[in-house]
Amino acid sequence: MILILVFISPIFGVLLADMVGYHEPLDVVAEALNLPDLTELINWTPLLDYTIPGLPAEAGYAVAGLVGILIILGIGFLLSKIVGRT
Amino acid sequence: MHIPDGFLDPVVIILTYVLLVIYGVFAFKRIKRTLNTENTPLVSVLSASIFAAQMLNWPIPGGTSLHFVGGALAGVMLGPWLGFLTMFIVLIVQCLVFHDGGITALGANSLNMAIIDVLVGYAIYRLTVKTFKSKDPPRMLAAFLGGWLGITIAGIACGLEIGYSQAFPYGVSITVPIMAGWHAVLGIIEGTITALTVAYLRKRAPHIIFAER
């Protein structure tokens, strides 16, 4: 189920988003008000906005989703180990 | 609803971080008592599912979007403390790994989606179920109301946070009604997904729904 969501996510996060000129709602507001975009100025991750350097946007979005899920499941695994010990 | 860096004033940043730390310390004591080998995988799988569901941005013509947030669902399924942990794992991974939501706004984003949305969703579900005391239709209504009101009140909190920040040229008299109105409309989808998910789980695995206990 989670894998299905990840593999169809580029349809929503990239393809449909491009079709309607989608931005994050608060980013739209920031652009309209000429607020500085600090996200790119103080960025610390190569995976900004669910992209993978070197991969096309669609594949990058799905791979980024997998990376996120693996990290979350990894946190869950660590929690299980800690709980199992106590 | 993820507030990026640059939107919040230092006072709002500090205040929301302080609230997160106070709530987090309180929640941690409860989580330590309740987390066990049975519910830890639930926290982990629900976090991963909500993370994946949040990647499904439904673009709305005009240049904006909506996506399922999941705080109320986490509250109904796992209760206020493990629900908080579930949502906080999602938010911290989104922020640190993908810079989705600013580091300066992590306190505010956690307050909105991991605390308010979870607590409101849980409380409304419990209250509605106790009020009606009968079976399926009221429970679907309870989950719908939890999801809808959870996201609407979280939207109001978001409006207060950006409205009280000087970086944002509009005050709370504008930001709060706009965020409340917008999230009240989008919340219908949030409530519907929450209701359908809870209805499914009540049929397949009713014992895992914390708010039923």
Domain parsing of chain B, residue ranges: 10-212
CA distance B134 to chain A (A): 31
> Residue A19 has what pLDDT?
60
Nearest C-alpha in A relative to B94: A68
**What residue type is assigned to position B184 of the chain?**
A
Distance from C-alpha of B163 to C-alpha of B166, rounded to nearest angstrom: 8
What pLDDT is attached to residue A20?
55
The DSSP symbol for B116 reads I
| Average pLDDT taken over every residue of chain A | 80
Average pLDDT of chain B is: 91
Q: What is the ipTM of this complex?
A: 0.91
Distances (CA, A) of A53 to A44, A46, B14, B21: 14, 7, 34, 34
Predicted local distance difference test score (pLDDT) of residue B65: 65
B118-150 pLDDT, tens per residue? 999 999 999 998 888 766 668 899 999 999 999
Q: What is the pLDDT of residue B207?
A: 85
Give residue A21's pLDDT.
Answer: 56
Q: CATH class for domain B10-212?
A: mainly alpha
Kindly give, in sequence order, each residue whose CB lies less than 8 Å from that of residue A76, ignoring residues fewer than 6 positions away.
B40, B41, B43, B44, B45, B47, B48, B89
What is the C-alpha separation between A39 and B101, in angstroms, rounded?
9
Mean pLDDT of B37-62: 87
- The region, left, alpha or beta by phi > 0 then psi within -120 to 50, assigned to residue B42 is alpha
Q: What is the interface size between A and B, counted as CB pairs within 8 Å?
A: 156
Cβ-nearest to A45 among B2, B36, B97: B97
Q: Give the percent of chain B with pLDDT over 90.
A: 67
Partners of A1 on chain B (C-beta within 8 Å) are: 49
Q: Which residue has the higher pLDDT, A49 or B59?
A: A49
* Residue type for position B38: E
What residue ranges do the domains of chain A occupy?
A: 2-85
